[in-house]
Structure 1
Amino acid sequence: MPIELDLKAILSSYAQLTLFILMLSIGLSQGFVNIAYLWRRPGLLGRCLLASFVLVPLAAMLINWVVPMPFAVRVGLAVMAICPGAPMIYRKLLKGRALPTLAGSFQVTTALLAVVMVPIWASIFAQIYPNDMAVAPATVFRQVALAQLIPIAAGLAIREWFPELADDLDQPVFKLGSFLLIGVLLLILIVALPQVIRIGLLPVVGAVLFAAACLLIGHFLGGPDPASRLTIAVANGTRNAGLALALATANFPDRGILAAIATYALFSAVAGSIYSNLYQKKFPQEDPATVWSDRRN
């Protein structure tokens, strides 16, 4: 028992440190000007928020209802569903024909609103699954605010008032956070491997359905412009695994939940890459200056 408690404490601290560094990298890479991209487009902003904070959690509820999955998988799916705003969105969409400015605005906006929306959804899920997610919303709010709001605000402040320092810190901080995230995902998969084996194929089924649902929701709400549609689909499908792991390690003792989150994160990354490559191949002969015109806006 002491060993398990020590391991849980280590994983919790590791996940929270990873999230803090990744959120700091968001603020350093963006700035207040980039955040306003979505805010100047209320229709697109509304669709993005609907996709991230409403339809994805509802899709998770539907998957949990349709697929007979055990406790750990249900909770892991629910936690991932309520955690948008992954730190990798902006850099992930710098390549190809996506809109980096839209990706950055989506990333920061959803990450900031998660401070309010995650506790709300945690409260809703606690009512729906009373034996699975009995976590006080105030506790979740405090955890998200400390791990996400503070580092984003710090990064934005540095970018605004010390831009040269932000340029120097941006890449090293992001690389460190990405390295830590890969490490914590691998560590969790190794530690929770017995639970994964016992659960069988159900996490895979849930991960595939969840990844597909996130991409489809973003695709159809991304608007008629191909670049915007691609950006919102991939951004919506890239959930914040760092925040999900931080919440899970702090509130749930079952390692199977962590394994489920890691499984969802890996499948979402693969699904996003496949979708992006296939979707962009639909427009190989088009003129980027016209088809992807919003890139300049």
Structure 2
Amino acid sequence: MDSSIITIFLPIALAIVMAGLGLELTPNDFKRVSKHPKAVLLALFCQLVILTSIAFVICKVLTLPPLLAVGLMLLAASPGGPTANLFSYLYKGDIALNITLTAVNSIIAAFTLPLIVNFAIQHFMNDGQHVGLQFSKVIQVFLIIIIPVCLGMLVRYFRPELADKLNKPVRIFAVVFLIIIIIGAVAKERSNIMQYIGDVGAATVLFCICSLVIGYFVPRLFGISSTQARACAFEIGIHNSTLAMTIALTVMASTTIAMPAAVYSIFMYIFAAIFGTLLNRYAPSVQPSIEQAPN
């Protein structure tokens, strides 16, 4: 992938995608956390603690090569993707909870993602390999996530009609952008792509399945309604692979680190659709939404 595309186009395109995420958010999405904290806190615990721990175990058990291990940890540290809202709608999840989780998770990820990735680098990388998130790059990650989301929220707050008009085109752009960076990353590593799929394919499938299963069943174990648990499952199970790949390619300057997110992108929608279909068949959702349901 051309260096000018990586340094200029990818950050701008990702900023548009993250701003599109902000177009769907309002201050009420953050206020809702205090009214319904249980589902939100459980989902965040699953995302930040359980799943990052599972990703670490997968890296160790499958003995992933160092750069691919860092890539999987980067993917695990990335927040839920905007597509989670669509899956929640299709499979009868609590969309309001999805939006709340997206809002909170995106803000928290600006702080937790650099910490998790730096831990992975220190643990998996050999002394002779130098790929890292120094302080300046941590600030870059923070700005990539926070500034565009805040700009999108400002548009939603001051010009809601404009936000509604922009929402669909930005969603389409997000899908096209994801496809483009996957193709670009795969094309650059085409000589090694089959090896990468062999190395990290099983790991990404395991991680995807674990994300969906844990996202649903852990909240259910703590008394969260099926509707809210579905929202948690899709928010946790559909990671923002676009963000992970763009950080790998721009901030970390490594196509190899981007490979787990690229391979994961191929699987996640398939497994999310299968998981949602199984839930609709075997776990009917009859609970009220987050706006009505008690904690």
Same fold per TM (> 0.5)? yes
Q: Which moved more, 1:151-160 or 1:138-147?
A: 138-147
Secondary structure of 1:293's counterpart equals coil
In the alignment, which residue of structure 1 is the partner of 2:86? 91
CA distance in 2, matches of 1:19, 1:261: 15
Contact 1:193/1:259 (<8 A) preserved: no
2:132 is paired with a residue whose SS is coil
CA RMSD of aligned residues (A): 2.1
1:147 correspondence with 2:144: yes
What is the deviation of 1:31?
1.3
Comparing 6-15 and 84-93, the one that deviates more: 6-15
Give the 3 Å change call, closer, same or farther, for CA 272–249 of structure 1 in structure 2. Answer: same
- Partner of residue 77 from structure 2, selected from 79, 82, 88: 82
User: Which residue type is aligned with residue 145 of structure 1?
Assistant: F
Matched, 1:69 2:64: yes
**In the alignment, is residue 164 of structure 1 matched against residue 180 of structure 2?**
no
In structure 1, the residue corresponding to 2:239 is in which secondary structure?
A: coil
Q: Give runs of aligned pairs for residues 6-85 of structure 1, distance below 5 A.
A: 7-85=2-80
Q: Structure 2: which amino acid aligns with 1:63?
A: I
Identity %: 22
SS in 1 for 2:259: helix
1:243-276 C-alpha deviation (Å, 9 max, x unpaired):
2112111244442322322001221222111111
Aligned residues: 287
Shifted more, 80-89 versus 219-228: the winner is 219-228
C-alpha separation in 2, matches of 1:177 and 1:44: 28
Deviations 1:27-70 (CA, angstroms, capped at 9, x unpaired): 11221123333342222222111111111111111001100222
When normalised by structure 1's length, the TM-score is 0.88
1:56 alignment partner AA: L
Partners of 1:191 and 1:142 lie apart in 2 by: 27
Which amino acid in 1 is paired with 2:182?
L
* Distance in 1 of aligned mates of 2:252 and 2:87: 30
Instruction: Give the aligned residue type for 1:10.
Output: I
Match for residue 204 of structure 1? 201
Instruction: Say whether residues 1:227 and 2:227 are aligned partners.
Output: yes
* Unaligned ranges ≥5, structure 1: 1-5
- Distance between the aligned counterparts of 2:101 and 2:212, measured in 1? 15
Counterpart Cα distance in 1 of 2:135 and 2:283? 47
Amino acid at match of 1:46: L
2:274 is aligned to 274
Relative to structure 1, is the Cα distance of residues 220 and 140 closer, same or farther in structure 2, using a 3 angstrom cutoff?
Answer: farther
Q: Is the 8 A contact 1:39 1:45 kept in 2?
A: no
How far, CA to CA, are the matches of 2:130 and 2:227 in structure 1? Answer: 37
- Deviation, 1:93, is 2.0
1:67-120 Cα deviation digits (max 9, x unpaired) = 022233212211101111312222332223111111111111101111111122
CA distance in 2, matches of 1:134, 1:189: 20
Letter in 2 for 1:66: V
Give the corresponding residue for 2:249.
249
Aligned amino acid, residue 211 of structure 1: C
Q: Partner letter of residue 50 of structure 1?
A: F
User: Unaligned stretches of 5+ in structure 2?
Assistant: none
